Structure 1
């Protein structure tokens, strides 16, 4: 086999590896989208304290303390209402282990 043939074989293998990596990335993105659809986007765009209790799996007194934090997102025009996407973004920003059921928050 010539050097040119070896070089072409290496290029072909690199291309196949790239295709496999791209397929894996697409699969992971799809699975993340499905997971987001089943969790995050299963809720209305505006959350209630009851929704927060389900999301955080916490008691009403814990949720009451949480929503009093200055950095926790809330709608200023409606009492007791919270913007879904901002709440999930807040969780992501304040979580050291996002993706599991155990959320650890930084102190505000």
Structure 2
């Protein structure tokens, strides 16, 4: 089980390292705060700070869900939107990846 955590930790660190404009870190920090959200709610939150389309947000959430493995999804029925929630067992990894992010303000 620990090897899975190690893989996820490496993927999270790489994901945050490649964050050029702060969007990736912002999305992860939103998930840390709200625990669960839909793509539409997330887009509304992110659009206040970033100029980004809904499909770009959906793509980013899909990547975090499928490649990083720190989210779970749930759909009540075919008519309702997918609700993404943070897997509690990876909260500490996300926090440490966000805290370890080098600041880009001095560059």
TM exceeding 0.5: no
How high is the TM-score relative to the length of structure 1? 0.28
Higher relative contact order (CA 8 A, sep 6+): 2
Structure ID, larger Rg: 1
TM-score, normalising length: structure 2: 0.28
Compare the two structures and name the one with the higher strand fraction.
2
